[in-house]
Amino acid sequence: MKIIKTVREMQQLSDELRKTKKITLVPTMGYLHEGHLALVRRATELGHVVVVSIFVNPIQFGPQEDLAKYPRDFDRDAALLEKEKTDIIFYPDADEMYPGAFSTYVEVKKLEDHLCGKSRVGHFVGVATVVAKLFNIVKPHFAVFGQKDYQQLIIIEKMVNDLNMDIEIIGHPTIREQDGLAMSSRNTYLSPEERDKALLISRSLKKVEELFREGERNTATLKKEVEDLLHQKEGINIEYVNLCDTDTLEELGTIRNKAVLAIACRIGKTRLIDNTILTEA
């Protein structure tokens, strides 16, 4: 397994590899868990060479967010990726990715105005910018993203389509703990009591899936079910519960064919997101 820290070395190696092989990229911010490793395994199925980037991207964090305390453990991450037979880790530092006079950003309009974009102003500009840079550096044929970050996934898909990037974006279903909690690096922030409260998020998703299967299509009714469940325990502060168009993220009044139910809330100091796709059988 190679560990590459510079843009120039990664680009040169990718140029050489692309002559005979397909490259798949899995972008991460490190502190890997089973959800990330599932993306790596999917990447292994797609290409000859798997590159995992590990970079805590400073420009996607707001001034009051957790950049400084975001969990990091490169040695642990490298050991996990070694077991998965990952070919390359791209591990740049912030100065390598954003040299002194950096001033170019990528903005995907409209999609960033919904859901997490309302409270995390500028977040998706940071996401789109770093992903565009990673695509230019690693030059993958495929890139794998988790569907837990649904808004991020469709923003990247839109960017790739709009800018005619020759990359296929692969979405991977959310990986969950045995008790249903969506895997996230931020789960490590939760106390045992907070983690127990967090289970209400996935339970509320399941409840709405059940109601949808039974024929309920009114989004106000479905949202109230989620809110009532989340309010069963104190200390869960709901940021949003939205039922949206799966392509535009615009809120729906009635579900016609399919929708995404997206939830964001804070439990203690930890912000958690989750979602499910509701679709006609």
Paired strand residues for 23: 49
What average pLDDT does this structure show over 189-208? 97
CA 252 to chain centre: 23
Question: For residue 64, is pLDDT > 90?
Answer: no
Whether the predicted model's global pTM rises above the 0.85 cut: yes
Contact 247, 234 (CB under 8 A): no
Backbone angles phi, psi at 57, to 5 degrees: -80, 110
Per residue in 94-140, pLDDT tens? 999 999 999 999 999 999 999 999 999 999 999 999 999 999 999 99
Residue 176 DSSP class: B
Tell me which of 47 and 51 has the higher pLDDT.
Answer: 51
pLDDT at 7: 98
Question: Helices (H), strands (E): how many in the chain?
Answer: 9, 9
Residue 58: CB partners within 8 Å, gap ≥ 6? Answer: 67, 94, 98, 126
Q: What is the dihedral of CA 27, 31, 35, 40, to 10 degrees?
A: 50
Answer whether residue 84 shows pLDDT above 80.
yes
* CATH code given to domain 2-172: 3.40.50.620
Q: Is 36 assigned a catalytic role?
A: yes
Q: What percent of the chain has pLDDT over 70?
A: 100
Q: What are the residue boundaries of the structural domains of the chain, listed by start?
A: 2-172, 185-275
Can you identify the CATH homologous superfamily of domain 185-275? Pantoate-beta-alanine ligase, C-terminal domain (3.30.1300.10)
From 33, 36, 48, 114, active-site residue: 36
pLDDT at 66: 86
CA 145, distance to chain mean position in Å, is 6
Q: Which string of DSSP letters, residue by residue, matches 129-143?
A: HHHHHHHHHH--SEE
What six digits make up the tokens of 28? Answer: 């991460």
Say whether pLDDT at 9 is over 90.
yes
Residue 281 has pLDDT above 80, yes or no: no
Confidence tier at 192 by pLDDT (50, 70, 90): very high
SS3 label, residue 183: coil
Contacts 24+ apart (CB under 8 A), 136-139: 136/11, 137/7, 137/10, 137/11, 137/14, 137/90, 138/10, 138/14, 138/23, 138/25, 138/51, 138/53, 138/90, 139/11, 139/14, 139/15, 139/18, 139/23
* Across 49-55, average pLDDT: 98
